[in-house]
Structure 1
Amino acid sequence: MAGWLSRVALAGFAPRAVPSASPLQAASRDPTPQRSKAVTTNTEASAAAKNKPVISETPPPPYWVVVFTTVRTPTDPEGYAAASVEMWQLVREQPGYLAMDSVYGADGKGIIVAYFTNEEAMREWGANAKHRAVQKMGREKWFETYRIRIGKIERDNAFP
């Protein structure tokens, strides 16, 4: 896929690192859902300065994931970009939200992976009224097709 977006900040679909929230303190490894706060790690800041992609930090499993795979229409790219930024800002305030990774191709295919502390937090995000309104607009004009997959992460390996 052409162009990594390390977080959902979709202005123009240009590769760009956006600081993510990490509600769990690495030292405590406290699995209690907390409200996210914007935090930029040294790794993220360094990657953003070099225009390099980064992979979201998540706590040790278990946690939940929503994988949203889309094929965009050419309709209203500015409206879609604005709604995407608004949703990214809104989800960061969702209790239980952990992080997000996304990629977009020049062919219109996109994959957004959102991480949540538990199934309840994930369901609450799906039921958020503003999110529901944007979902409706997506079905009406922005997406040719999409698929949502949900799962529980039991294992997480990283390199290096």
Structure 2
Amino acid sequence: MPPIAATPEPPYYAVVFTSIRTDIDEGYDAMAAAMVELAARQPGFLGVESARNDVGVTVSYWADLASIKAWKAHAEHQQAQRLGHQQWYQHFKTRIAKVERDYGF
């Protein structure tokens, strides 16, 4: 995946996941990579961008709300969510926003 997602003309949706990690790293990197690969195969997936320092921010882009709902309900994604709640995250927040305009160079 490119570091900056190549998204289509708006409108589309962004899921913004911000997190503060615990000290537990066991399996995290492998699961994160697997979730990006799995998400990329889901209908409606448009791209992803991620950065981590004290706070991690991952933004995934989706064609519509139905695609986001299906991704949240995907069985393998739900397992990753459970592990995140149990061991990898001290705190997290998910926000869903409609992208109405984008630009860049």
Instruction: Please state which band the TM-score falls in when normalised by the shorter chain.
Output: over 0.9
| Larger RCO, structure (CA 8 Å, separation 6 or more) | 2
- Find 1:88's aligned residue among 30, 36, 39: 36
Partner of 2:46: 98
Matched, 1:127 2:76: no
Q: TM-score, normalised by structure 2?
A: 0.95
What fraction of aligned residue pairs are identical, expressed as a percent? 38
Could you list the structure 1 runs, at least 4 aligned residues long, displaced by more than 2 angstroms after superposition: none
Larger Rg: 1
Unpaired stretches in structure 1, ≥5 consecutive residues = 1-18, 21-53
Equivalent residue of 2:32, what SS? helix
Alignment of 1:10-159 (within 5 A): 19-20=1-2, 54-75=3-24, 77-105=25-53, 107=54, 109-158=55-104
Unpaired stretches in structure 2, ≥5 consecutive residues = none
Partner Cα separation in structure 2 for residue 70 and residue 139 of structure 1: 11
State the Cα RMSD in Å: 1.0
